[in-house]
Amino acid sequence: MALTFDYKVRDRGGNLVQGQLEGDSLSLVVSKLREMGYMPIAVTPKTKVDVRKEITIPFLSNRVKLAETAVATRQLATMVDSGLSVVRSLSILTSQVENKELARVFGEVKLDVERGSSLSAACAKHPKVFSRLFVTMVQAGEAGGTLEKVLMDLAKTMEKQAVLIRTVRSAMTYPAIVVSVMVIIFLALLVFIVPVFKKLFSSLHATLPAPTLALIGISNIILSPWSVLLVAIIIGAVVALRKWIKTEDGRAKWDAFKLKPPVFGPLMHKVSLARFTGTFSSLIQSGVPIMEALDIVTDTAGNVVVGRVLQEAKLGVRDGRSLADSLKGHEDVMPQLVIQMIEVGEQTGALDAMLGKVSEFYDGEVETTVNNLTSLLEPMLTVIMGAGVGVMVISMYLPMFDYIKHIPQS
């Protein structure tokens, strides 16, 4: 079944030409345009209802997930390893990828490679999809003639990172949902139920106990015009905090704070160590020089505190010291296990293998911590929610009990 494609091309005179053309696939349409003497700039499939043009959701329509890039990279590695050319592999990949944005990016990469660009240089034009780690490893694979192996290693690395992200998010999702439900229930009680009881107590002229008075006071604050100002202040504080975190000083202090809370602090620390060791192992295994590898993992560690330790270690390596020696003195951030494994790897010439083992260890530690955390939080949050609702209900009924108790006396 022929599809319709929108295209932008330049003719032999350099003029921009736009139009539509039918073809069985994107690669065939591009080939046909070239045969017509045009230089394709952009070719995109057009459906009967162009949803991408009709509905555009900011921050969502152009989003490419790490897991999607990992799957596509694994497919590319498999095709290149099977003997297909990079251009042919990219052409097939472009037609198979379900994510429209990722398909568009691979299409542009294919066009750049066809024009004579290297795969790494073509990928470097799309930093939102292909990280510096991706580009550097592909560049090393191209230089060493091991592109298919490097692509497969990249796929494995990204898949591990995607699993790590999902694992951490799963630990945060349940508490977030329960807390949200608690807030909604409490607000509903304070806005709709408490005012009804307040009117009832006023008609009975009952003496209200302290818990009931406190609950009515909170309800009055929420229902008053000042609550709008309070909400505005909270939203403003959140926005200001997010902007501050994006600054260099704010990010450093926020990352340092994330390592301090009990349970969640050690979890964030293990996640950062798993990312650092896994990425570093992949880079060394791909033949990337250690100084460049350290420069990359400094940016991809996911925590400024860990990144600064790695940056200091890089200076030590530059001065002729071993990496293990350069990391000593930072045991509060870089555990002895990591330093000792790096030292053994440097002595045996198997640094990438040792780093890989450390990465696997911390991946397991993260998974175990998340499972334990989830098992602990589920009953705890359920009890807290039940206790909170119970306290509110009892506070509302205390005056009723007191009133009923005095009925016989009257």
Amino acid identity of residue 263, one-letter, is V
Amino acid identity of residue 243, one-letter, is K
Q: Where are the domains of the chain?
A: 3-45, 66-161, 263-369
Q: Which long-range contacts (CB under 8 A, 24 or more apart) does 362-366 make?
A: 362/270, 362/271, 362/273, 362/274, 362/277, 363/160, 363/163, 363/164, 363/274, 363/278, 365/270, 365/274, 366/164, 366/167, 366/168, 366/267, 366/270, 366/271, 366/274
| 114 and 138 Cβ atoms separated by less than 8 Å | no
Superfamily of domain 66-161: Type II secretion system (T2SS), domain F (1.20.81.30)
pTM above 0.85, yes or no: no
For the beta sheet containing 39-46, the strands, ordered from the edge strand earlier in sequence to the opposite edge, are: 16-23, 3-10, 39-46
Q: 145: phi > 0 → left, psi -120 to 50 → alpha, else beta; which? A: left
The residue with tokens 């929610």 is 385
Do the domains 66-161 and 263-369 sit in the same CATH topology, yes or no? yes
Q: Is 254 exposed, middle or buried (0-12, 13-18, 19+ CB in 10 A)?
A: middle
pLDDT of residue 406: 63
| 178 and 381 Cβ atoms separated by less than 8 Å | yes
Take residue 32 and report the two structure tokens written for it.
Answer: 């046909």
Give the separation between CA 154 and CA 80, rounded to whole angstroms: 14
DSSP secondary structure letter of residue 323:
H
pLDDT of residue 336: 94
DSSP 334-361: S-HHHHHHHHHHHHHT-HHHHHHHHHHH
Give the separation between CA 359 and CA 297, rounded to whole angstroms: 13
CATH topology of domain 263-369: Receptor-associated Protein (1.20.81)
pLDDT of residue 55: 43
Q: What is the pLDDT along the chain (410 residues), one digit of tens a residue?
A: 557 777 777 777 777 777 777 777 777 877 887 877 777 777 777 654 444 444 444 444 568 899 999 999 999 999 999 888 999 999 888 888 889 899 999 999 999 998 899 999 999 999 999 998 899 999 999 988 899 999 999 999 899 888 888 888 877 888 888 889 888 988 898 889 889 888 888 887 767 888 889 989 999 988 888 888 888 999 999 999 999 999 999 999 999 999 998 888 999 999 999 989 999 998 998 888 999 999 888 887 888 999 999 999 999 999 999 999 999 999 999 999 999 999 999 999 999 999 999 999 999 999 898 888 888 888 888 888 889 888 888 888 888 777 676 665 54
Helices (H), 65-146: 66-81, 86-96, 100-114, 119-124, 132-144
Q: 355: phi > 0 → left, psi -120 to 50 → alpha, else beta; which? A: alpha
Give the SS3 label for residue 3. Answer: strand
